[in-house]
């Protein structure tokens, strides 16, 4: 596979790029995570979102434990070549490790963050109590 | 104004947080930029997107030169408290400094990035040749 397309990207000093996952059907922004060169290459090769976990310092195959895989339909790059936008199908309808549809469930109301989206599934039931994505 | 809501955010070592701007009407993701504490406070106070320009190292009142202001309708925070999602009305219909509707106009086709969205207005006509946001 020709890797010129990966050279176009302006990676951070840590070799990462932010990747936004947007749900294809609804247009909802599900989450933002980080990718390194290897994870972006694999994302495109395999057609599923594979991020770089900064906390665990390893590849994070989204859905590897939960089954909540993100099938990638479209990959975009912004004008500064430093942000990726994925259009994805969210298998299982749950992107967030809290068991919610998406990670952006805290809404600013006045000067308070309020949880405005329901937990669809108990995380203990998703991960068997292990946590993770 | 009570600032506890700003303390909830997990700022980077540089005191920044990524902010995604999504168009309210269409659901399109327009851009991602960065905010510091002051810019996020002002964004909420003034109801318009105010970013932190990392290259110019100053507040960037989106639309200050172009008139392409982003009116903020909703502010969300993700589960890790380290990404902001704004729902905005994009005044003038142009978010990108290239004169396109949005910044994510490069689409991966095979192993090539292809520009797939039209330039709606010549940037020279937007900025008078000065460049900027």
B76: in domain:
yes
Contact A44 B106 (CB under 8 A): no
Contact A5 B104 (CB under 8 A): no
Q: Are A126 and A102 in contact (CB under 8 A)?
A: no
B116: in domain:
no
Q: Are A69 and A63 in contact (CB under 8 A)?
A: yes
Residues of chain B neighbouring A105 (CB-CB closer than 8 A): 76, 79
In tens, the pLDDT along A114-124 reads 999 999 999 99
B120: in domain:
no
The residues, ordered by sequence, that sit 6+ positions from B87 with a Cβ below 8 Å of its Cβ are B22, B23, B24, B72, B73, B74, B75, B76
- Helix count and strand count (H, E) for chain A: 3, 8
**Domain membership of residue B30 as a residue range:** 4-93
A30: nearest Cα among A71, A79, A77: A71
Task: Tell me phi and psi for residue B13, to 5 degrees.
Answer: -55, -30
Q: What pLDDT was estimated at residue A2?
A: 81
d(CA B9, CA B18): 11
B9: in domain:
yes
Domain with A66 in it: what CATH number? 3.10.20.810
Which residues of B touch chain A, with CB atoms under 8 Å apart? 1-5, 8, 18, 20, 22, 26-29, 31-32, 44, 74-81, 83, 85, 96-98, 100, 103-108, 111-113
In tens, the pLDDT along A62-75 reads 999 999 999 999 99
β-pairing, A16-23 vs A84-90, is parallel
Model confidence at A133, in pLDDT bands (50, 70, 90)?
low
133 residues of chain B, pLDDT tens digit each: 689 999 999 999 999 999 999 999 999 999 999 999 999 999 999 999 999 999 999 999 999 999 999 999 999 999 999 999 999 999 999 999 999 999 999 999 999 999 999 999 999 998 875 545 5
Q: What pLDDT was estimated at residue A96?
A: 97
Which tokens sit at B36?
Answer: 């510091």
In tens, the pLDDT along A21-54 reads 999 999 999 999 999 999 999 999 999 999 999 9
Quote the pTM value.
0.95
What are the CA-CA distances from residue A98 to residues A46, A117, A119, B118 (Å)? 26, 11, 7, 39
A38: in domain:
yes
A114: in domain:
yes
A11: in domain:
yes
Q: What pLDDT was estimated at residue A48?
A: 98
Model confidence at A127, in pLDDT bands (50, 70, 90)?
confident
d(CA B23, CA B31): 10
The residues, ordered by sequence, that sit 6+ positions from B36 with a Cβ below 8 Å of its Cβ are B11, B15, B16, B17, B52
B119: in domain:
no
Whether the pLDDT of residue A129 is over 80: the answer is no
For A32, the enclosing helix (H) or strand (E) is: strand A29-36
In tens, the pLDDT along A73-105 reads 999 999 999 999 999 999 999 999 999 999 999
The DSSP secondary-structure symbol of B91 reads: G
**Mean pLDDT for all residues in chain A:** 95
Domain count, chain A: 1
Q: What pLDDT was estimated at residue B127?
A: 85
């Amino acid at each position: 596979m020709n890797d010129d397309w990966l050279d176009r990207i302006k990676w951070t000093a840590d070799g990462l790029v932010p990747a936004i996952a947007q749900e294809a059907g609804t247009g909802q922004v599900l989450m933002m995570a980080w990718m390194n060169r290897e994870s972006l290459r694999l994302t495109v090769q395999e057609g599923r979102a594979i991020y770089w976990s900064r906390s665990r310092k390893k590849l994070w195959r989204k859905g590897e434990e939960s089954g909540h895989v993100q099938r990638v339909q479209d990959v975009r790059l912004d004008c500064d070549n430093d942000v990726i936008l994925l259009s994805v199908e969210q298998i299982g309808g749950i992107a967030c490790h809290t068991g919610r549809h998406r990670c952006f469930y805290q809404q600013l109301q006045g000067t308070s963050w309020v949880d405005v989206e329901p937990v669809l599934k108990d995380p203990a039931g998703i991960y068997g109590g292990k946590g993770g994505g």
